[in-house]
Amino acid sequence: MSDHDVSTWRQRFLYTAPADDRSRMRAVANNLILHLHPTKVPAPALRWTYTWGLGGISATLAVLLIITGVVLMFRYDASVERAYTSIQYLETEVAFGSLVRALHHWSANLLVVTAFLHLVRVFLTGGFKVGRAANWVVGLILLLVVVAFNFTGYLLPWDQLAFWAITVGTSLLSYVPLAGTAVANFLLGGPEVGQAALRNFYAIHVAVLPAILILLMSYHFWKVRKDGGISQPPSAPGERVERLTTIPHLVQIEFAAAAVLIMGLFLWAVFVPAPLEALADPGHPPNPAKAAWYFLGLQELLLHMHPLAALLLPGLVLAAFVAIPYLDRQEDNVGTYFRSAVGRQIALLGALYAVGLIPLLVIIDEYWLDFPALLPGLPTLISNGLIPLLLTLGGLAALYLLFRSTNKANKSEALVGLFVFVVVGLVLLTLIGIFFRGANMALVLPF
Ligand code: HEM
């Protein structure tokens, strides 16, 4: 073996760590960072207003949730007799118990918001284009996993809110034809929410979902790197994009964002404890019995349509979201918010149409429109299901065509308008469900 071979062998396999402790720690930290990031990143990718740090914030929240979740497991007892008292004990007797629970609760709710906003950012900048379709789909599954985490965690305190939100939520499943009831029975371990359901939800929450989340997140990050980093506007021929080293340029932004987020969450958790209502009472549903807040848009739809149609509509929207990379293949507008100046105008119009139309439709349907009474000869599945569903889908198609013809938008820009309409619509339905639904789910004013 020549001297050269020996030194290469040494470099590869006998890495000699720096002598002093600080340099050694720095070497390990840098190594970890450079497993996640490339060594250099394009300068425009560092702009805070491009990503708003939403992917990183979501990742930080996921880590915080795992840490606080493991701590909570030391005290939580997943039995119908002891779950509620174990939470009460944690809140009042265990040092920092209330703080850890509040951190877990608020991080979980915030993660639904930040992962959703991250999806919106990725869509609006065309981050699903140029070879990133697979990561877009992985992201969608991640969002579903985040919602499943929240949903299964909701039951664990075994208070009135938990019991009835899960009862309402799982009862929706029974409207899914063929497999719905079987899936609901499998999840609940029987026909209703009881000990088997609590045990199943706990197992899914602390074992199944974390494993899926960690695997998917790892793949998601690896894929961002593999796809050449985050999306960028295509550079003009001959243009050279400045590239900066990840350490310190990117890492200092990430650390600052994580520090601000964690400090903010701590402060919030200190002053706003996680809610805990009275012990679950299967005999006395609260009025109104609402689902968890992120399902209130869906619950609102159920007030207007046959349950099958109300489930089919979000199912179709989800399928359309999966298909987005295949529906919008124009690659020269990647990396620009709303695609173009026309796209920006269409997005604004989409938002305005949603704000004007959706509350109006909710009010009209609540007080005046009654399809089953108008069409008494038809089964409600058609009069109150198929007809409103087709009208909604027809309305969305009409909106797309309107953007294409009146506003001279190309396919990509018209899709932005439709996406903004659907997203603002979902947010509005959720807000109506949270603030404007009172006893018997009737429309009320919150003030
Ligand atoms: C737990 C949830 C999630 C985490 C922790 C996460 C994390 C990240 C991170 C750290 C990045 C790098 C850029 C950035 O910060 O924006 C990223 C990029 C990306 N994410 Fe996510 N993500 C999540 C959910 C989603 C969802 C719901 C979608 C969309 C359906 C999605 C699709 C993508 C795509 C396509 C990219 C590449 C974007 C680009 O190149 O501009 N992710 N994600």
Q: What is the pLDDT of residues 23-59, one digit of tens each?
A: 777 777 777 888 888 888 888 888 889 999 999 999 9
Ligand 1 pocket, 143 CB below 6 A? yes
User: Cα(119) to centroid of ligand 1, in Å?
Assistant: 7
Residue 120 within any structural domain of the chain: yes
Q: Which protein residue's CA is at the shortest distance from atom 35 of ligand 1?
A: 136
Amino acid 170: pLDDT: 87
Q: Which residues of the chain have pLDDT under 50?
A: none
Closest-lying ligand 1 atom to the alpha carbon of residue 213: 1
For a substitution probing ligand 1, which of 147, 220, 253 has the most ligand atoms within 8 Å of its CB?
A: 220
Query: Is 4 within a domain?
Result: no
pLDDT at 246: 87
- Tell me the two tokens of residue 116: 């959703």
Could you tell me if the CB of 139 is within 6 A of ligand 1? yes
Cα angle vertex 117, ends 298, 356, to 5°? 55
* Structural domain count of the chain: 2
- Tell me how far apart the alpha carbons of residues 291 and 320 are, in angstroms, rounded to a whole number: 25
Same domain, 360 and 420: yes
In three-state form (DSSP H/G/I as H, E/B as E, the rest C), the secondary structure along 63-108 is: HHHHHHHHHHHCCCCCCCCCHHHHHHHHHHCCCCHHHHHHHHHHHH
Domain range for residue 367?
Answer: 291-447
What is the model's pTM? 0.92
- For residue 33, the model assigns a pLDDT of 82
Q: Is 119 in the pocket of ligand 1 (CB under 6 A)?
A: yes
217 lines ligand 1 (CB under 6 A): yes
Cα of 30 vs centre of ligand 1, distance in Å, is 23
Q: Specify whether 74 is located in the same domain as 149.
A: yes
- 266 and 315 housed in the same domain: no
CATH number at residue 232: 1.20.810.10
Q: Is 59's C-beta closer than 6 angstroms to any atom of ligand 1?
A: yes
CB of 146 within 6 A of ligand 1: the answer is yes
- In angstroms, the Cα distances linking 160 to 143, 155, 190, 330 are 26, 9, 20, 50
Q: Exposed, middle or buried, 236 (CB in 10 Å: 0-12/13-18/19+)? A: exposed
Asked if residue 282 belongs to a domain, the reply is yes
Q: Residue 208 has what pLDDT?
A: 97
pLDDT in tens, 68-96: 999 999 999 999 999 999 999 999 999 99
| Spacing, Cα 184 to ligand 1 middle (Å) | 30
258 and 406 assigned to the same domain: no
